[in-house]
Amino acid sequence: MRAKTAVVLGAQWGDEGKGKIVDVLSERFSAVARYAGGHNAGHTVIIGGQKFVLQLIPCGVLRPGCKGIIGNGVVLDPLAFLKEVGRLRDLGVAVDGNLFVSNRTQVILPYHRMIELASECAPGRQKIGTTSKGIGPAYEDKMARSGLRIVDLLHPTLLKTHIEAACAEKNAIAHALFGTDPLDPAKMYDEYAAAAEQVRPFVADTGRLLNNIMANGGSVMFEGAQGTLLDIDHGTYPFVTSSSATAGGACTGTGVGPTNIGTVIAVTKAYVTRVGEGPFPTEIHDQVGEDLRARGNEYGAVTGRPRRCGWLDIPLLRYSNQVNGAEWLVITKLDVLDELAEIPICIGYEIDGRVTDEIPADVQGLESIKPRYTTLKGWRQSTEGITEFEKLPQAAQDYLRFQERESGARVGMVSTGPDRNQTMVLPEFADALESIHR
């Protein structure tokens, strides 16, 4: 019997619209668990015209009766977390009693932001395009076994000792390397000791909580952050995030075993976008790219940064589905392509005169790719808000079926607009979801 669980993640470089999809699907799940990343990942959900931007908190909290869980694989800035909790309370969302934070989650402190910002701006350093929120340095401390976890944050004496020792080290490093002014450990302790008491009611052994939910017949959705091509191991390294954004991260990031993963649902746009630096084989550099950005409102939900836009890349999508074991595809922003007469799709690569569909592991290889395109006919009529596959223009149906056939995963849902209701669920996917829900 398959586990009543699903992993929902991004198949590209993030910003695929996972927030809306997790929200749409969450009504079928007892809990939604976030397993990686920090507050650099913005998920936008629009419900009845009201906009919710979530950075740390799983989208499940927007559904009455659905628990939101922040797993141990996340790095958490307590101040950012409390600010987000406050915004949701102001909007009438019932977070208290429905939201839980793993006691094993790593904590982001001000010196992490100091180090990241100074490093990213240092002369001669290769820019990665981070949000400078301290995510990377917090993961560095985790792997160096010198980080602070939520369970430690709640012990004032341990917190004070940790901050004093860390500031002595980080201040010296930042000043020596970047000329940065030192942080005040006493001020930092006062601020974070106070924040700890506000975080305390949310803290739990969430691995135990999730396993108990499943043991008692409940269903769990694991919510990814960023996207597969930003994964620390499998992404376009070094232009990646600092955590495991792929399906494997759902296990290590929550304390749930791999045999408890029922299915993997990959979210992909009908085209491709990327924020920040790094290789992007199918990037569009002319007015068509500008038009896609405008029609798709391609600006970061957290940073406001303009996203780079490109044509759908089948080899990358196929690679992503392979890494994740993706069974289903959710395709978003189909309506953004409505005005195009023709739509190029990358079906292969030419690298140094050699035709291939293999993804190079190195940046130099990725940057030397010459995409090989096929062109599909556009539909040049509105698909916005259509919720039945058969009512789509035939050319739009053909585009989706091509994406399905070439990527190795079945199309289960299609988003035709930003609102919760502007979503079509294909019958076979509805049946699969029903088997999870039962």
> Over the stretch 402-412, which tens digit does the pLDDT of each residue have?
999 999 999 99
- Average pLDDT of the segment spanning 290-308: 85
CA distance 426 to 361: 35
The residues pairing with 273 across neighbouring beta strands, listed in sequence order, are 309
Which of 118-122, 191-195, 303-307 is predicted with the least confidence, judged by mean pLDDT? 118-122
Return the percentage of the chain with pLDDT > 70, whole number.
Answer: 95
- Average pLDDT of the segment spanning 251-272: 96
pLDDT of residue 126: 56
**Does the pLDDT of residue 395 top 80, yes or no?**
yes
- Residue 234, helix vs strand vs coil: coil
- Average pLDDT of the segment spanning 329-345: 96
Cis peptide bond prior to 238, omega within 30° of 0: yes
H/E stretch holding 197 reads: helix 185-199
Sign for the pseudo-dihedral over CA of 384, 390, 342, 374: positive
- Residue 106, helix vs strand vs coil: strand
**Does the pLDDT of residue 61 top 90, yes or no?**
no
CA distance 147 to 131: 20
pLDDT of residue 437: 65
Please report which residue ranges of 50-155 form alpha helices under DSSP H. Answer: 78-90, 110-121, 135-143, 150-153
Phi-psi sector, 129: left (phi>0), alpha (psi -120 to 50), beta: left
pTM for the structure as a whole: 0.92
- Average pLDDT of the segment spanning 43-48: 71
Encoded tokens for 350: 């030419």
Residue with tokens 């409102």: 297
Amino acid at 384: E
H/E stretch holding 294 reads: helix 287-296
**Does the pLDDT of residue 169 top 80, yes or no?**
yes
Q: What is the pLDDT of residues 369-392, one digit of tens each?
A: 999 999 999 999 999 999 999 999
Q: In this structure, are strands 263-269 and 342-351 parallel, antiparallel, or unpaired?
A: unpaired
- Average pLDDT of the segment spanning 184-198: 96
Which of 157-161, 203-207, 304-308, 313-317 is predicted with the least confidence, judged by mean pLDDT? 304-308
DSSP assignment of 221-258 equals: EEEP-S-GGG-TTTSSTTSS-SS--STTHHHHTTT--G
- Average pLDDT of the segment spanning 52-66: 85
CA distance 134 to 39: 9
Q: Which residue has the higher pLDDT, 43 or 140?
A: 140
Q: In this structure, are strands 75-76 and 67-70 parallel, antiparallel, or unpaired?
A: unpaired
Q: Which one-letter DSSP state was computed for residue 228?
A: G
CA distance 367 to 46: 36
- Active-site residues: which are they? 15, 43
Encoded tokens for 335: 């309506």
